[in-house]
Structures are given as C-alpha cells and as structure tokens.
A and B are shown apart, each in its own frame.
Chain A
Amino acid sequence: MSAQAALSKAARLGAAEELDPHVRLAALAREHFSFIWRSLRRLGVTEPAVDDAAQQVFEVASRRLFDLQVGREKAFLFKTAILIATEARRVAARARSEAGGPELESIRDPAPGPEESALMRERRLLLDQALAALGLDERTVFVLYEIEELSLTEIAELVGIPRGTVASRLRRARESFHSEVKRLRARREFPRRSP
C-alpha cells in the first residue's frame, strides 16, 4: 500500500491512529510540501529562508501528529505556515534594520536558474513587493485565490472563516494590490527623474 493509499484508508476510517506515523507524515510531506513552500514564499518568506521555513512547518506537524485530525492536515499546515512566515518576516525585517541595507533577498538571491528567465524573476520580485503592501489577512486570501486558485469555499475551510469574510478580504486585497501595482509600475517606467 502506498503512503497515499494508506492516508486515504485512514481518512475513510476516520482515525489517524490507523496510520503508522511515519507513513502519515511522509504522505503529508509529499502531498503538501509544494503548497506550503509556495505559500510561505508568497506570504513573504525570502527565497534563501523558505526551505527552512517549510521544514519548520512540518516539524510542528510531526510534533502534533497524533492530535491532527484526519482531513484537517492541510489547514493545520497552512495555519502553521502563516505563523512561521510571520516570524520569518519579523526576523528578516530586524536583520534589514540592523544592516541598514536593502532587502536580504535582493542581495542574496542566486542568479536565475537555467529554466528561469531574468524577466520572470523580476516580475516575481514585483509581485512580492505588491503583496508586501497587503495586510496578512488580505494577503493570505489573495494568495490562495489568485495564485493557488482555490475557490472561496475552499479558502473559507482552509483558513477557518466564513465565505463572506473571504470575499470581503479578497475585495480589499485586490484594491490594495491594484494600487500598489500601479505605483510600482509607475516607478518602474519612470525610475528617477533627472534633476
């Protein structure tokens, strides 16, 4: 039985205890790692830090494995990711403040990989700058809807808020995103006026 099949079996039985912990954890990691990693990135964790941050999320899950309700794992992981991302951003902000320099990512980002164009990388940097203008609640909903392409209902379940709240946060997030993109775009097209 594959790890995923074992997980499905346990879900049918409705009992996490039916699973060997290693099978369950490995299945969780395989199934959700990518989503958690991407979420952490878009919630503001820098590229050099994101692998470690994702690792932390699953370490928390490993500690809580026996309390984790089957079927609620993704929500747990995502909420953990929010906390970890918040801390990571705080640490990064402190480091920036102490260094008095530019964003860590901008000076530590490795060169674009062979499969990634510089243009794509620049766009992603702009995206993250625009996202940084959003509050955490709005940013979370925006990322889940616009980037992860979850439905409003899925987001409501994942985050644990009513669907109407998701919709209103998304609306506010979009307004902020539009104005921030407009500002970034203007700055990009007219970088600095000559004196």
Chain B
Amino acid sequence: MTAPRRLIEADDEFERDLIRSAHGDRPSQRALERLLSGLGGQLSKLPSSAPGVATGGKIGGVVLAKWLLAGVAVGLATIGGAEATGRALEHRGRHAAEGPIPFVRTSPSLATSSDRVSVAAPHEDALSLAQDAPSALVPGAPLRGAASPVPRAAAAPTPLASSAIEFAPPIATSPSPSATSPGRPALGSFALPAVEAPPTTLAQEMRLLDAARRALASGAPQSALATLTTYERAFQNGVLRPEASVLKVRALLAAGDRAAAAALGQQVIEQAPNSEHAVAVRAVLGLRSNP
C-alpha cells in the first residue's frame, strides 16, 4: 500500500494554498511559557507519595513550581535581552518586561458559568481509543480544584462510550483576565504550599541561575559571570545547564567580551540547533536563524 501524494504536492493550487496556510498557524512563545507556568502549579499538587515519585520525590511540589517558574523567568530574561534583534523577539521582550506571566484563562468561547463541565465522550464519531486513552481517567475526578491523588490504579481502561471526563471547573468565566474563581487555585498563581520543601539539587541550581539573572538585570555582568562559574563548577550535568549557557552568553556580551560570547553561543547552537536555547542565543548574538 503506497501512500498517496499529499495535497501540498498535488496539482490543485488552490488546495495547496489552503494546506500551506495551516503551516503558519502556530502557538506563540508566550503560550508555551504560560503552559509551563501553569503546569508548575499542577505539579505542585501532586502528592509526594505518589508512585513514581520515588526519584522525583526528591523534589517537592514547591520546588517543582519554582523550577518551572525559574525556567520561564530565565527564558524571559533571555528573550528580553534579545529585544532589539528581531521583530518576533520584540514581541517576547515586551512580555518579559511585564514581569512573571500569570496563567489565566483567556478563551471566552470555552467559558461556562457552571463549576463543572462534563466532557462527553465522543461515540460513533469518535476514534477508537485504546488502552492509553485519556478517558481512562477516573470519571468524575476533578481535573482542577482540590488536589486529588494521582490515580495510578486508574490505568485500567474505561470504555470510552460509557465514560465521561469531568473537568472541574473548566475555565474562568470572568471577563477580567486576572480574575480567578473563588474556591479554586489559579494554576499559575504559584500559591505555594505552607510547608517549604527542603532544598534540593534542582532548587540550588535554580537559585544560582536566578541570582545570576538578577545580577545581570541590575547591570552587574561580572557578578553574574561569577555566579554562573559557581553554577558550572557545582552542576556539571545540571538540568538547567542550557539555560545557564544562554545566560552566560548574555552576561559575556554585557561584560564586553563578544568573542567569548560568540564562542559559547556557537557551542549552544551546535549542541541543539533547533532548540529554544539556540534561538535565544542567535537572537542575543544577532545571528541569522537557520534557513
């Protein structure tokens, strides 16, 4: 069975254009940042005793949220520094100047006034969903709101046709973008648990990078470089190493060492040419994007 020629390669120019138009439709960087920010809040609700957190449990919910926040902050700072280098990055830089990104529901078309929306499982029109179908979520289990245990035991498949996923509550209905419904935590508000988790390796990484970022933002690139050197010595295989490299490129540039910044930037680009980090480094150094 040979695959048919795709419409984008076919003779009908009109259809080709229609298909091609979809390729320019993509999410904004800010949407991803909001997602990461919101997921930080979600993860902070996971019970530390959940299965699978045996290794992940080293890092409490507080740290998870902070880490994701730090990632966003570092990303934003990186992006902010590239403000003058391109139109797209001007947009991002503008957001960076606005400070931390709260996650807010923005879609009025999905809004309802009820507390819960039942996502009726599609039936005859539906794809046949197999064992890993999301419908295997515990029916009625709240997706948002009060933290619920992670339903590991819920892995058993639930027939889609007879199940419903309830999202509680789905989407803010307030016209105010900053408003959140009472009684439910805002996903991106980072309402941290009362009990502070003990510092972890990742938390230490985050702290160092945050310190470097602040130093750089306050016009002290040498101090930022010193902090980043400390980071590099302490965390040779750090999870946030790519973020650290981007920060260092910025700090080197700010310190006037363009050659070193370019050399390090080149390394970052070569390691992952299509990564966000490579994009950020190119912007910071004023390099052209990949063709």
* Residues in chain A within 8 A of chain B (CB atoms): 1-4, 6, 16-26, 29-30, 33-34, 37-38, 41-42, 46, 48-56, 58-60, 62-69, 72, 75-76, 79-80, 82-84, 86-88, 90-92, 95, 104-105, 108, 114-116, 120-121, 123-124, 126-127, 130, 135-137, 140, 145-147, 149, 151-152, 159-161, 163-164, 167, 170-171, 174, 177-178, 181, 185
Taking CB atoms and an 8 Å cut-off, the chain B residues in 70-123 that contact chain A are 71, 87-88, 103, 105-110, 112, 117, 119-122
Question: Do B105 and A82 have beta carbons less than 8 Å apart?
Answer: no
Known contacts A49-B107, A91-B117; 9 further A-B pairs (Cβ under 8 A):
A1-B238, A1-B239, A24-B56, A37-B31, A55-B38, A60-B137, A63-B151, A65-B46, A115-B88
B39: contacting residue among A2, A62, A159, CB under 8 A:
A62
Question: Do A48 and B108 have beta carbons less than 8 Å apart?
Answer: yes
Q: Closest CB of chain A to B147's CB: distance in Å? A: 10
Q: Which of A2, A6, A63, A121 has the most CB of B within 10 A?
A: A63
B contact residues around A87 at 8 Å (CB): 117, 119-120
B14: contacting residue among A21, A90, A174, A181, CB under 8 A:
A181
B contact residues around A136 at 8 Å (CB): 122, 125-127
B contact residues around A90 at 8 Å (CB): 120
Count of chain B residues near A, Cβ 8 A: 93
Complex Cα distance, B119 from A62, in Å, reads: 18
A51: contacting residue among B43, B56, B106, B120, CB under 8 A:
B106
B contact residues around A123 at 8 Å (CB): 17-18, 20-21
Question: Do B3 and A124 have beta carbons less than 8 Å apart?
Answer: no
Q: Which of A24, A87, A88 has the most CB of B within 10 A?
A: A87
A contact residues around B150 at 8 Å (CB): 63-67
Complex Cα distance, B148 from A149, in Å, reads: 38
Is B241 an interface position by the 8 A CB rule? yes
B contact residues around A174 at 8 Å (CB): 4, 7
A92: contacting residue among B35, B40, B109, CB under 8 A:
B109
B42: contacting residue among A62, A152, A177, CB under 8 A:
A62
Known: A51-B31, A59-B38. A161 touches B127 (CB 8 A): yes
A67: contacting residue among B110, B155, B272, CB under 8 A:
B155
Complex Cα distance, B3 from A55, in Å, reads: 33
